[in-house]
Amino acid sequence: MRKRLAAGNWKMNGTSGSLSELEALAAAHPAPSVEVLICLPATLIERASRRAEGSAIAIGGQDCHAAASGAHTGDIAATMLVDAGASAVIVGHSERRTDHAETSAHVAAKAIAAQSAGLTAIICIGETLQEREAGTTLSVLDDQLAGSLPDGADAGNTVIAYEPVWAIGTGLTPTIDQIDEVHRHLRARLAARGLADIAILYGGSVKGSNAAEIFAVEDVDGALVGGASLTAADFSPIVTALEAS
Ligand code: PEP
């Protein structure tokens, strides 16, 4: 049985007043049949973890450094996320690959740091619009997956998120056939490494209104959600759709 996960990514949004959304989400899903995770700005992780204690909502970070400690001003170590109460961390989000020039080698190193600290690493990969239009989507994803997924990854410590860059925050989504093609392809690549049971999330403009058809795709094991994870009202229907799939 593969993990089924509804993961939210608040990005650089939210202050302490926003934590009531987590409580509303927890109240709406006291015993979900899928995993529910919210990846928060680092400033909120400890408070959120305390407030989510006893609920079914897990808390995650959005990035970690590859090193365990040291002179890296502004960065955060995987062990610090664990200390604050996180159980997972996103690595290699396209916004970090673009804004911070992160390569797949950086992402793999961060994933190793996360896994070593006991976190689930949610490794993001995805093609740009130019790459899709050029017909290179699958080879781009092959390169990113091969470069970002470290040896030692397994279904317990790793999740893959397929996030087409052009679908993030744009309201655009690939067709269901395109999602199916990519997820099948990634499953085959994982299977070739003996890792077929690693969960593969889809991410990019998932909403309550399109979640059910995306979750009906066989190799989609859940979603990584940005904008629609910021409120319980928007995220709860996505959790419900995953439970029903
Ligand atoms: C994301 O941030 O990973 C994401 C998929 O964003 P959105 O759902 O807003 O497209």
By the 8 A CB rule, do 177 and 218 touch?
no
Supply the CATH number for residue 154's domain.
Answer: 3.20.20.70
- Ligand 1, pocket-test mutation among 5, 9, 162, 238, most atoms within 8 A of CB: 9
Q: Per residue in 126-175, pLDDT tens?
A: 999 999 999 999 999 999 999 999 999 999 999 999 999 999 999 999 99
**If you average pLDDT over residues 21-34, what whole number do you get?**
97
Alpha-carbon distance of 37 to 156, in angstroms, equals 15
**If you average pLDDT over residues 69-94, what whole number do you get?**
98
Alpha-carbon distance of 3 to 181, in angstroms, equals 20
**Total count of domains within the chain:** 1
Q: Verify whether ligand 1 is closer than 6 Å to residue 227 (CB atom).
A: yes
CA distances from 211 to 33, 219, 225, 228 (A): 16, 14, 10, 11
Ligand 1, residue 163: give the atom nearest the CA: 5
Q: Which of 203, 214, 208 is nearest to 232 (CA)?
A: 208
Give nearest CA residue, ligand 1 atom 8.
Answer: 226
By the 8 A CB rule, do 202 and 178 touch?
no
Share of the chain above pLDDT 70, in %: 100
Write out the residue range of the structural domain in which residue 52 sits: 5-244
